Amino acid sequence: MTTAPLPPHWDLSQLYSPGTPELERDMRELLSLAESFPRWRDRLSDPLFPPEEFGRLLSELAHIQEMQEKLSGYADLAFSEDTGDQKAVSLLGLIEERAAELSNATLFFELWWKDLPDDRAESYLAAASGHAYFLRRVRAFRPYTLTEPEEKVINLKEVTGAQALTTLYDALTGRYRFFTGFLGEAEAREVGREELSLHFRSHDSLRRRGAYREFFRVYSEEGPVLGQIYQSLVRSWRIENVTLRGFSAPQSARNRRNDLPDEAVECLLRVSRQEAPEVFRRYFRKKAAYIGLDRLSRYDLYASALPEAGEPVPFPEAEAEVDAAFRGFSPEMADLAAKVAKERRLTARLLPRKRSGAFCASLLARETPWVLMSYNGRLQDIFTLAHELGHAVHSQLAAEEGIFQFQAALPMAETASTFAEMLLAQRLLARENDGARRSALLGHVLDDAYATVCRQAFFALFEVEAHDLIKGGATPDELSDAYFRNLEDQFGDSLELPPEFRWEWAGIPHFFHAPFYVYAYTFGQLLVFSLWRLYEKEGPPFAARLIKILSKGGGDSPAEILRKAGVGPLDDEFWRGGYKAIGEFVDAY
């Protein structure tokens, strides 16, 4: 009997190893750079400060940023690999403290740049060496910037405030253990969230129900504590961004960072509230009939229409499927994706205290990104692999934008990843002759579309309400009531909604880590459905257009990147077109 090879595990020693001279050396060097950078302060006060000197200052600042990203990135990756490793937790805290000190040491430049008259600022942009958009974005925050002492206090307090709370949330939830008694085994086992969540998509209805109930048993018991963490994070966000900085609403701070006007995001969420429920309720009713139920329960939302297909798919087979899907669209994209595993920057192995979920960490513009996931050999895992490698392709294509601009703004950051999943789905559907399995694959695409479009849009709508409720003193129980109403608005009478789902919000890490992040998923997936229609129309030449979009990274606003690629404008009609495309998949289901 041949044993399947273990999924790969990354080699973080390419960055650092704990306690090595290289780690200590670079931390000292970064501290030295932070101490020497303020020498520019007096030179910037000279009205005749020359453009060529401005270029050298930017180069030094870029070097500092690269070193800081490498150090903090390593600390975060080491913590993600083992959230219970006390040395990793300690290192993460230390480097976050150093990062705050560094931010304070370079803060005077940002404040000087924001405060320059427009004519002087324009005279320096010619020497910006590809950093012009970044510099214009810095100036866009001029109305919301505090004095230098105030900004320094915020930077320092963040280390023991919001950053510490999100680390605590990860550490607590990373230790949660769930019992498998619902499986009917002779003895119940303890498992982590990743293994438990496999059963959410099981063909067995009792297994799905049992897994969800076990999940919410733990999260409802821990809800009051997690709720207190969330309340503190929300208050911290409001105090900084609304009370101190003067944004009109908590979500406006995120919109500004995404370079999207409030009206554009409100348009996206308004259309989603109007269109998404009807499209997906229609799908849920069809899915219920397809899997032999009169009506879905929320337990059944992601149920597979087919039994699990025997043994789990070995990782090399999954990797080959993703490579073929990418290569059929663009060999360049396939080659960039393949570098992640070849360079040992992918961890897909199941580890007991590994951070849940999946992510792609792009630390430096011209280096291969790092990808974390937990591979169990199921169809969903193959799609997760495609998704995260799509992120890795995106950042590598944008490498020429440099450290300040290669990271795409959040709304564009999901473009490559969700398009990658569509490529994989196309490959699997194209070779599937069995009608039932084709429908199951279409169901997977629609399940993912629900999770990425409708669910995330309603998450964003909940966040807006939750921030207002917490401002008014709402308790964790009251937040759960509001969340349950949000679910009722989504599903209507299309499925049965068990009451324990009221605690689902406490298990959504994005709410804790990055307020108002989630609408980026809706933006990205709807955009991808629109791009997919262009691909079907144009065929292979479309690959060059997508690569042009991705190669811009964060070097321009989302609206401008799309406009220059002939996509948009981002109005009601555009977003409704995305929902129309999803509706066509529902029709084909």
Range with the lowest mean pLDDT among 229-233, 484-488, 558-562? 558-562
Task: Specify if 130 maps to a domain.
Answer: yes
pLDDT > 80? residue 214: yes
Phi, psi of 94 (to 5 degrees): -65, -45
Instruction: Please report whether residue 569 resides in a domain.
Output: no
CA distance 231 to 360: 28
Q: What value does the mean pLDDT take over residues 38-61?
A: 92
- Burial label, 537 (beta-carbon count in 10 A; 0-12, 13-18, 19+): exposed
Structure tokens at 304: 């597979």
The Cα–Cα gap between 178 and 563 comes to 48
Instruction: Examine the pLDDT at 305 and tell me if it is beyond 70.
Output: no
Which residues have C-beta within 8 Å of that of residue 289, sequence separation ≥ 6? none
Q: Using the 8-state DSSP alphabet, how is residue 115 labeled? A: H
Q: Are strands 346-347 and 178-179 parallel, antiparallel or unpaired?
A: unpaired
The answer as to whether 175 is a domain residue is: no
Dist CA 10 CA 338 (whole Å): 14
**Is 202 among the domain residues?**
no
Query: What tokens appear for 264 in the block?
Result: 């554009």
Asked whether residue 32 is assigned to any structural domain, the reply reads yes
- Residue 1 is predicted with a pLDDT of 46
Structural domains in the chain (count): 1
**H-helix or E-strand containing 194?**
helix 193-197
- Cis-peptide into 224, omega within 30 deg: no
- Please indicate whether residue 484 or residue 292 has the higher confidence score (pLDDT): 484
Give the CATH number of the domain where residue 35 resides. Answer: 1.20.140.70
Cα 345 to Cα 359: distance, rounded to the nearest angstrom = 12
- Provide the pLDDT for residue 309: 54
pLDDT for the residue 212: 96
Dihedral Cα 178, 181, 184, 190, nearest 10 deg: 40
Between residues 394 and 6, the one the model is more confident about: 394
| Rounded-to-integer distance, Cα 567 and Cα 532, Å | 12
- Give dist(CA 95, CA 103) in Å, integer: 12
Other beta carbons within 10 angstroms of residue 157's beta carbon come to 14
127 is a domain residue? yes
pTM: 0.82
Compute the distance between CA of residue 94 and CA of residue 349 in angstroms, rounded to an integer: 28
Span 343-359, average pLDDT? 91
pLDDT reported for residue 588? 87
- pLDDT given for residue 229 in this prediction: 97
Q: Is residue 215 part of a domain?
A: no
164-178, 292-306, 547-561: least confident range: 292-306
How do residues 50-100 score in pLDDT, each as one tens digit?
A: 988 999 999 999 999 999 999 999 999 999 999 888 888 898 888 888 888
Q: Is the pLDDT of residue 542 over 90?
A: yes
Residue 403: inside a domain, yes or no?
A: no
Q: Which residue has 């002087």 as its token pair?
A: 120
Q: CB neighbours of 50 closer than 8 A, spacing ≥ 6?
A: none
Q: Which two tokens stand for residue 178?
A: 């769930």
> What was the pLDDT predicted at 589?
87
Residue by residue, DSSP assigns 394-432 as HHHHTGGG-TTTSSPPHHHHTHHHHHHHHHHHHHHHHT-
202, pLDDT greater than 80: yes
Tell me the per-residue pLDDT of 411-467, one tens digit each, with 9 for 90 and over. 999 899 999 999 999 999 998 888 888 888 888 889 989 999 999 999 999 999 999
| 451's tokens | 């999770």
Mapped onto helix, strand or coil, the DSSP state of residue 347 is strand
Domain encompassing residue 145:
12-160
